[in-house]
Amino acid sequence: MRSWLPQYEGDGYVHRQNTRSADDRNLPLTDIASPHELEHAARALRAVAIRALLAQFFGRVSSWLRNGPAVEAERYLSKASDLADLERRLVEAERRGLLWGRA
């Protein structure tokens, strides 16, 4: 597996892997940046990754909050056998708070 991220080896310094795959043999080795620049780049990469994970998490939570109660109410109302049963279920769902997202 190719890893382009800096590796921590336990000595307090960030080291780059020196192993090269067959695909990389024709590419020149770049000089390792100063530890300060490397740390800055690693922090920037970490911030981007965390921001993407948080956006995905909050997107799923907001989707669940928008659609969760509606799905539950639709499931309850879809079990009605006829129009009278549907009306009774609508009144019951409104009393229980299923239609407005209050349980």
Torsion angle, alpha carbons of 57, 59, 60, 65, to 10: 120
28 occurs within a structural domain: no
CB 60 within 8 A of CB 36: no
Task: For the chain, give the mean pLDDT.
Answer: 77
Task: Give the pLDDT confidence score for residue 66 in this predicted structure.
Answer: 79
46 occurs within a structural domain: yes
Q: What percent of the chain has pLDDT over 70?
A: 65
Structurally, the chain folds into a number of domains equal to 1
Q: Which residue would you say has higher pLDDT here, 37 or 89?
A: 89
CA 26 to CA 28: how far, in whole Å?
6
pTM: 0.41
Query: Mapping DSSP to helix (H, G, I), strand (E, B) and coil, where does residue 14 land?
Result: strand
61 occurs within a structural domain: yes
